[in-house]
A and B are shown apart, each in its own frame.
Chain A
Amino acid sequence: MKETNSTNNGFAIEISHLKKVFGDLAAVDDISLSVKKGEIFGLLGPNGAGKSTIIRMLCTLSRPTDGSATVAGYDIVKHDDEVREHIGLVSEKMIMYDQLTARENLKLFGKLYNIPNDALNKRIDELLGFVRMEKWADHRIDTFSTGMKQRINVIRALVNQPEILFLDEPTLGLDPQSTAEIRELIRRINAENGTTIILTTHIMVEADILCKRIGIIDHGKIVALDTPANLKKLVSGTETSAFEIEISNLEPRMISSLQSISSVKSLVQEDPTHLTVRANGNDSFDSIVDNLRKDGAKILMVKNLEPSLEDVFLHLTGREAREKVSENGSQKRGFGPHGRFRRRSARVR
């Protein structure tokens, strides 16, 4: 009872009024969007915004409470098996068996897609070559570094040559080098195979450099959906400006004094000598510098920050500043790779 693949309209994914409720929490609240074939689409939002829940529903791991969606032209509820044939999933936690070798892991998943032995062996070698891991094929996963593991984890999701690849926070917990490697890998998968990629992240830079279009999600709702450039235009049109200030003798009283200025909208202490200040109005720069001088601050550097997706986010939700201040300004985004903790801490907010 295979239904004809109806993706002729050029959409890889079409979501219509999708909803998922856990208890009395609407994790995904009436979301509608479409993802074009061959696109890298980013779902951006803070922890607990509902990104992972959307991915899980699209991957048929979780049933929607309401609404519908098609993936590769198949309904995610009625034709879940057909959907599964056409997707690859890289989820927050690595889908790999540590005691098995890279090849054994790939073989297991290949076999779950009924790929015959010859074709599978060829495919595995091809994929290992794609991430330059041929040498490590017969080594156990638990001997790999996190970056190596994630490379194998990503090609594992490609073993069935999916039309659509879902990446749920693929660079979470990776060091900068591995992060760059994985981002490059994502770009290559998209460029060389034309694979549609859905990427969730809470890292603004990642969405900015990888994605053609970005949907910003907050509290289970889409608050904006556009190209990164257009999204940034949303902010530059406003009067908000951001400065990074380096002060060699930064003291708490200087911070509280800055906070008392009416035009200052938010203030985050990034480290012992750096502040990020967002303020309204044209004369805000003057009043900030005057104020700091008055307090005897030795200003080493002031940098006017370009609008970033972060600003877009702040502009759209007004939430980020609140979140950061409540964390004493010392805690940066993300709490590490442990999804459960992150999610809870974000939901309690």
Chain B
Amino acid sequence: MGVRNIVRHSLWICWKDLLEFSRSKLRLIMLILMPLFMMVMIGFVFPSGDSMISNQPIALANMDAGYNNTFLGNTFVAQLNVINNNTGMMDLSTAKDFDGIKNKIQNSEVNGGIIIPENFSSNILAGEQGYISIIIDQSNPQMSVIIQTVLSKTIEAMGEQMAIHNLNSTYNNVSIIQATSMVKPYNVQIRSVPEGKTNYFQFVAPGIIAMVVMMSLMTGLPHAISYEKDMGTLDGMLAAPINRLSIILGKVMAQTIRGMLQGFVILLLAVLLFGVVIHGSILLVIALVILTVFSFVGLGILITSFTDKEETATMVMMTLMFPMMFLSGVFFPLQQMPSYMQTFAHFLPLTYATTALRKVMVLGADIPAVATEITILVGFGVILLMIAVPMFKRAMSR
């Protein structure tokens, strides 16, 4: 007996599980399709760093009454059209007034509107500011925030150009460059560590890898055990002179290999299709993924021991997994969440797995830089296993 036998038996059980898995073509296809769908879905659903809005239907109401036959509103519209022709971000249509825009928004014809008020020309020509109103659609908060930001920036930029032009033409001794520095004294430039364009995939890929490996293990393990329990095949293993640990160990190995394969598919897709660059050591990435598995194994075993039916196991898993997916900073940075949620997130191992993987993959961090996360993940794993293994042994000999 002893450790050697436990490992040997578990390897045979792992062999059996993988063999079973490889016999199902559909499962093999899903192994690749699932990560692919996930990446593509995330790529399109979540806002990517440099994605600008394009072809947004926007209604424009030019109500400018003019002043002494000067219609600055028309000039503004012309300028906006020029900019829009270059960027293609808006699909401009006209409306009569606020009610007209409101109507169009209500009918889902447009996502927002711009109003140039009656006194636009008269205000400007009187040396005052010209007001422009941006109308947003509150039923679509995400989009309205983006439209609001983009339109405000565009109009502000137009205003700046106007100011520079005015300064330059009003004062002969002010060059365009000087005028620019007067209007916009600060010029912000974005640089990143490491150098390169920010890419939402870069942010999200490490988290997705950690998550998929976790999901594979957490759903796969209770499923694998309770399925065999339901089918009656577990009795065959339990009636054989093997340690109960061999069964769970074999299953864990099989599920881990499966999860790692999926994680690897994601990594490959991320690099080949989505332009993700791995800055750190790939070996460290793999080691971290294995550590992630280790930190979750206990939880998987615990749930397996508590639930007697496959259905129950799946339900419990789903209930636990969803908050983990969304609270561990996989899709959104932790800092975006309210503080009590951030506190909660710190009790989830996935949080540390995601952080560590992100540091290594995106920032090129080395082991000392992720030592805290590694320690915490090992801690989670050890504590959960210390609770789970005796529970599992007890559950197996009821």
Contacts and interface: CB of A to CB of B under 8 A. Distances in A.
Nearest to A60: B239
A264 interface: no
A97 interface: yes
Scoring B16, B240, B397 by chain A CB atoms within 10 A of each residue's CB, the highest score goes to B240
Contact of A100 (B20, B231, B241): B20
A92 B24 contact: no
Interface in B17-32: 19-20, 23-24
B237 A93 contact: no
A332 interface: no
B232 A100 contact: no
A91 B9 CA distance: 22
Contact of B9 (A56, A62, A112): A112
Nearest to A114: B5
A108 B232 contact: no
Contact of A89 (B24, B236, B242, B397): B236
A81 interface: yes
Given A87-B239, A99-B20, A93 B231 contact: yes
Contact of B237 (A81, A104, A112): A112
A312 to B, nearest CB: 31
Interface in B189-231: 231
B9 A111 contact: yes
A183 interface: no
A113 interface: yes
B239 A108 contact: no
A62 B20 contact: no
Contacts of B24: 99
B238 A61 contact: yes
Given A93-B231, A95-B233, A95-B236, A85 B16 contact: no
A258 B239 CA distance: 52
B20 A97 contact: yes
A100 B235 contact: no
Interface residues of B, number: 25
A81 to B, nearest CB: 5
Interface in A31-90: 56, 59-63, 81-82, 84-85, 87, 89
B71 interface: no
A84 B9 CA distance: 15
B12 A93 contact: no
Contact of B241 (A85, A94, A156): A85
A144 to B, nearest CB: 15
A92 B240 CA distance: 17
Among A92, A95, A100, the most chain B Cβ lie within 10 Å of the Cβ of: A95
Contacts of B239: 59-61, 84, 87, 89
A156 to B, nearest CB: 8
Given A63-B397, A104-B19, A112 B240 contact: yes
A243 interface: no
B240 A62 contact: no
A96 B397 contact: no
A136 interface: no
Contacts of B240: 84, 109, 112-113, 160
A63 B396 CA distance: 10
Interface residues of A, number: 31
Contacts of A62: 397-398
Interface in A242-281: none
A100 B170 CA distance: 87
A140 interface: yes
Contact of A112 (B12, B23, B397, B398): B12
B235 A91 contact: yes
Given A95-B233, A109-B240, A100 B16 contact: yes
B110 to A, nearest CB: 56
A62 to B, nearest CB: 7
Nearest to A94: B232
A123 to B, nearest CB: 15
B47 to A, nearest CB: 43
Nearest to B242: A112
A113 B241 contact: yes
A95 B16 contact: no
Interface string A125-161: 0000000000000001000000000000000100010
Contacts of B242: 112
B235 A99 contact: no
A125 to B, nearest CB: 20
Contacts of A104: 16, 19
Interface in B253-295: none
Interface in A94-122: 94-97, 99-100, 104, 108-109, 111-114
Nearest to B234: A95
Contacts of A109: 236, 240
A160 B233 CA distance: 17
Interface in B169-196: none
Contacts of B236: 89, 91, 95-96, 109, 156
Interface string B384-398: 000000000000011
A38 B120 CA distance: 108
Nearest to A82: B241
Given A62-B398, A81-B241, A85-B241, A96 B12 contact: no
28 contacts: A59-B235, A60-B238, A60-B239, A60-B397, A61-B235, A63-B397, A87-B239, A89-B236, A89-B239, A91-B232, A93-B235, A94-B232, A95-B233, A95-B235, A95-B236, A97-B16, A99-B20, A100-B19, A100-B20, A100-B23, A104-B16, A108-B12, A108-B13, A108-B16, A111-B8, A112-B241, A113-B240, A156-B236
Given A93-B233, A112-B237, A114-B5, 4 more contacts: A60-B397, A91-B236, A96-B233, A111-B8
Interface of B: 1, 5, 8-9, 12-13, 15-16, 19-20, 23-24, 231-233, 235-242, 397-398
